[in-house]
Amino acid sequence: MAKVGILSMQRIINYGSFLQAYALKTLLEEQGHKVQFVDYRVGMPLIESNDANKRGVLGKVYKTFEALRYDAPLKQKLQFILYKKQFANKYFNLLGLTVQPNYTPKLDVLVIGSDEVFNCVQKNPNVGYSLELFGANNKANKLISYAASFGNTTVEKLKEYNKTGEIGDLLRKFDTISVRDENSGRTVHKLTGREVVYHLDPVLAYDYVGKCKKIPTIHSKEKYLILYAYSGRISNEESDKITAYAKNKGLKIYAIGGVQKCADRFVNCSPFEVLAYFANAEEVITDTFHGTIFSVITKQKFITLVRKSVGTSYGNEEKLTDLLDRLGLLERIAFSIDEVFEKQNKSIDYDLVHTLIDKERIRTYEYLKQQVK
């Protein structure tokens, strides 16, 4: 049994971040290890934004009440604020997190990942630019990653901010590097000359549906469509068209993860209940990485709305295309809201998809068994 630390995005208030952290911890515990989460010190973001100086208490207050500016029913915005405010107190203990951060403990193995732990050229003040996400200052006998991602960070962006040298030097100190997407593998290779191994996100690698006893059964009196997207990302035009689409099909719109103008209900639930709501839905529209994964593991009818990045603005095209390509589901991508409706009723061969996932779960098990001792 090894003393293992996971350094990830476990304190980000986000269902995907929570469930990937819980999944990796569980996979390691199933192999007999003693697992704890390790925290990193947040640095200033490389990309300046109006939010860059809103950190600490001020940042939490700003983020909490940011929802009020979104175009959505007031009741749902207040419910969203409550969800954000209560998330840490209600769910972080399920990960074993304490109020006091756990910086640089002595470990047998430190696992960095999953999630966008390497996405260092961005403007999120809650993450910033932290070399500890690349293993700096760690006190572990062995350093590896699992399904880590650079997100939208590329070698070109690292060059722009003169960070290729220090990031490359830190990556060379890893004993083994596992990533979840092609951009991350390409970036590591260009910076270090090293080859990487590819693994699925922990939410796919762990059999939530088959093994997790914390997922309840949801009984709804009405049929509903899940709209899983961050607040503010669904435009008014998209929202109006989703409203008309759902009305035509006799479906209510349940917003999860963010507030939406078109939603009949904002669902404030536990991370495990999210999967139950997905399993019970008639269909899903999402524009997020983990919203896509939640749909796949619950064998849901879904379409993923892909957004291109422009300048420093958010873009999810590369990571979503990479994910769905690996799952053989590229046909579930839509580049416009009209394309969502055109593609939604096409069937999905989930037997084929889950055969692929089962093989990848074995690869994950073997990787962790070999690397974590």
DSSP 138-192: -EEEEEEESSB--TT--HHHHHHTT-HHHHHHHHTT-SB-EESSHHHHHHHHHHH
Q: What is the CATH number of domain 3-51+94-207+358-371?
A: 3.40.50
Residue 354 binned pLDDT confidence (cut-offs 50, 70, 90): very high
What pLDDT does residue 63 have?
A: 64
- Identify the CATH class of 210-356: alpha beta
DSSP state of 128: -
CA 354-196-28 angle, 5° bins: 60
Range from 61-70, 110-119, 166-175, 194-203 carrying the lowest mean pLDDT = 61-70
**Is residue 262 pLDDT above 60, yes or no?**
yes
Please state the rounded mean pLDDT for residues 171-197.
97
What pLDDT does residue 324 have?
A: 98
- CA distance linking residue 286 with residue 274, whole number of Å: 14
Please state the rounded mean pLDDT for residues 210-222.
95
What pLDDT does residue 360 have?
A: 98
Question: Could you count the other beta carbons within 10 Å of the beta carbon of residue 206?
Answer: 24
pTM of the model: 0.95
What pLDDT does residue 23 have?
A: 98
One fold for 3-51+94-207+358-371 and 210-356: yes
Residue 221 binned pLDDT confidence (cut-offs 50, 70, 90): very high
Please state the rounded mean pLDDT for residues 63-79.
85
One-letter identity of residue 258? G
What are the extents of the domains in the chain?
3-51+94-207+358-371, 210-356
One-letter identity of residue 263? A
What pLDDT does residue 315 have?
A: 73
List of residues 6+ apart from 189 with CB closer than 8 A: 195, 196
Question: Could you count the other beta carbons within 10 Å of the beta carbon of residue 213?
Answer: 6
Q: What is the pLDDT of residues 127-176, one digit of tens each?
A: 899 999 999 999 999 999 999 999 999 999 999 999 999 999 999 999 99
What pLDDT does residue 333 have?
A: 97
Query: Phi/psi of residue 30, each to 5°?
Result: -65, -25
Q: What is the pLDDT of residues 79-128, one digit of tens each?
A: 999 999 999 999 999 999 999 999 999 999 999 999 999 999 998 888 89
Question: Could you count the other beta carbons within 10 Å of the beta carbon of residue 335?
Answer: 12
For residue 239, the SS3 value is helix
Residue 69 binned pLDDT confidence (cut-offs 50, 70, 90): confident
